Structure 1
Amino acid sequence: MSYAKPPVLQGTAKSDYENYVRTDELLSLQKGPDEWEHRDELLFAVVHQSSELWLKLATSEVIETIAQLKGNNLREAHRLLSRAVLCILQTHSALDMLEKMSPWDYQQVRRALGHGSGFDSPGFNGLRKAVPQLGKEFHRLLGEEKLSLLDLFLNDRKYEDLYQLAEWLLELDERIGLWRQRHFKVVERSIGMKVQGTQGTPVEILAKLNFFSFFPELWDIRTEITNYALSEE
């Protein structure tokens, strides 16, 4: 006996789940076995396609966070940033799958990639463009309270919502940075060092990006607090 209700959503699939998620289209986006250079093309495509979706969602959450900050809705901004952070964490775990390809198997997959490169990721590039706006709104809010960053961190309980915003920004920055580092190690494990990527870019360029931060002032304030504490002794 079937308890399934007939679909009511627009579409040709046999269930509303398939119509809403558009599974026919989604699952047709990967090459089939007859098209593969190597069977791990499916693994490679699924990892990158799913990561693009998580990065798209992360960017959407960041953009909405910016809108909430413009309206001074800090609690809602915290919630949205927590979701953006979780999106980035999903991309971390996806990278683990790439290490399940041997270096030689990856070389077979690589033949099918053309000049495709992670530098061209729409998801990450969208996120990279959106995140700096968070810093601008944070500093606007800081200015409205007539606070320096040190003042905020020394009076974190008094300005709890603004302090928590600073911590969520740092969390997002850290998770993106850890994703960059993880990605670099996956690349190194797959193709080594002192070689070029699919666009002819030296792998060492990725290593340099590991030191990039969207909010360096939120890292530097830790040193400033330590020095301040030592001066008070």
Structure 2
Amino acid sequence: MLSTTSAQQCPYAPVEDGDAEAARADRAESNGGKPTLAFDQNTPYVDYVGIDTLLSLQNPRTKEPAESAFIITTQVMELLFALVQERWEAARDAMEDDDVPGAVAWLRSACNAQDVLNSSWALLGDMTPTQFNRFRDAFGEASGFQSYSYRKLEFLLGNKSAAMIRPHKAMSGVVTELTTLLERPSLYDAALRLLHRRGLPVPDSSIERDWTADYEPSAEVEQAWIGVYSDDRPGNELFLLAEALVDVAERVTRWRQLHLVAVKRTMGGKPGSGGSNGLNWLARNAEQDVFPELWSLRSTI
């Protein structure tokens, strides 16, 4: 359950409007409990969700049916990237505000979105190499590596690199957003800063550093987390936070592994369209632990 602080910040908090509620009740009564069927213009549903715009965005460049599935799956993933980003940022900000219950709630909510994100790979699960080859040339150098929404997630995880902003230099707004995330503490940085404020032995070098640099694992940080795990009672909110972070990390690793398998199935070891060496690059990425000390401590406890 969200704390009071997080509930005030929650973008999903309902707006209390007695007049609107009364209008809905009147409409249901006048309709005899049946849905409204007559509208002079677009239905409110179409306008609110932007259905016409959404369905106009699928523009295959070939006649290969599998290309539509590829485009729709990619677009679904992009929407989910944005949802996960929103929830991770809310969790980071809650930790910076010492609101641990709020942070845990946001991380749990993010996990639900990550589960759907990971499941979306199944939409491409039956694509054969022959089908893929029939439309692959049509998208040229386009590559998921160029997704700025996914890059935001990597920056939030602490996988920082200023060079990864360069592909978007022609998009000033995107560059600004990525630079902001690059220069701010990551999810894990915020967690370590929280532990430090709670008196755990997180070294100063881990709580005030160059946030644009890669995080370097630390034996002292591992010991701090071991201290958290020494009290695994449900009332230990730091323990609940640690496990929520592990849940997030596990789902990120699954995402990377599913990406690797999907590429292996559809194109094998061919070079990637964006210039990478394909499988080798994805395999290295999948092997990287997210929030490393939360994993290494398990060999010590």
Instruction: Judge same fold: TM > 0.5, yes or no.
Output: yes
Q: Which moved more, 1:152-161 or 1:171-180?
A: 152-161
- The answer to whether the 8 A contact 1:116-1:199 is kept is yes
Shift of 1:120: 1.0
Shift of 1:159: 6.2
Q: Which of the residues 205, 227, 230 maps onto 1:151?
A: 227
2:285 aligns to what?
209
Q: 1:135 to 1:212 in 2, by over 3 A?
A: same
Cα distance in 1 for partners of 2:296, 2:41 equals 54
Q: Which of the residues 6, 17, 23 maps onto 2:45?
A: 17
2:87 aligns to what?
61
Q: Are residue 175 (structure 1) and residue 281 (structure 2) matched?
A: no
Q: 1:13 to 1:189 in 2, by over 3 A?
A: farther
Shift of 1:125: 0.8
Once the two structures are superposed, what CA deviation does each residue of 1:29-58 show, in whole Å capped at 9, x if it has no partner? 0016xx434121110011000011011100
Q: 1:66 to 1:5 in 2, by over 3 A?
A: farther
Letter aligned with residue 144 of structure 1: R
Q: Which moved more, 1:16-25 or 1:201-210?
A: 201-210
Cα distance in 2 for partners of 1:38, 1:24 equals 24
- The answer to whether the 8 A contact 2:128-2:265 is kept is no
Once the two structures are superposed, what CA deviation does each residue of 1:113-172 show, in whole Å capped at 9, x if it has no partner? 111111112221111112331111111121122222211111232861111111111111
Q: Are residue 125 (structure 1) and residue 151 (structure 2) matched?
A: yes
Q: Are residue 29 (structure 1) and residue 82 (structure 2) matched?
A: no
- The answer to whether the 8 A contact 1:152-1:159 is kept is no
- Structure 2 residue runs of 5 or longer lacking an equivalent are 1-30, 159-185, 201-223
Q: Which of the residues 159, 162, 166 maps onto 2:238?
A: 162
Cα distance in 2 for partners of 1:158, 1:173 equals 21
Larger relative contact order (CA 8 Å, sep ≥ 6): 1
- The answer to whether the 8 A contact 1:51-1:90 is kept is no
How well do the aligned residues superpose, as a CA RMSD in angstroms? Answer: 2.0
Q: Are residue 221 (structure 1) and residue 297 (structure 2) matched?
A: yes
Letter aligned with residue 191 of structure 2: F
Q: 1:158 to 1:191 in 2, by over 3 A?
A: closer
Shift of 1:5: 6.3
Structure 1 stretches of 4+ with a deviation exceeding 4 A read: none
Letter aligned with residue 82 of structure 2: K
Cα distance in 2 for partners of 1:143, 1:120 equals 36
Q: 1:47 to 1:169 in 2, by over 3 A?
A: same
Q: 1:187 to 1:166 in 2, by over 3 A?
A: same
Cα distance in 2 for partners of 1:223, 1:100 equals 38
Matched residue SS, 1:210: helix
- The answer to whether the 8 A contact 1:102-1:190 is kept is yes
- The answer to whether the 8 A contact 1:37-1:112 is kept is no
Q: Provide the identity percentage.
A: 28
Letter aligned with residue 163 of structure 1: F
- The answer to whether the 8 A contact 2:253-2:290 is kept is no
Q: 1:149 to 1:196 in 2, by over 3 A?
A: same
1:228 aligns to what?
none
Matched residue SS, 2:139: coil
Q: Are residue 4 (structure 1) and residue 36 (structure 2) matched?
A: yes
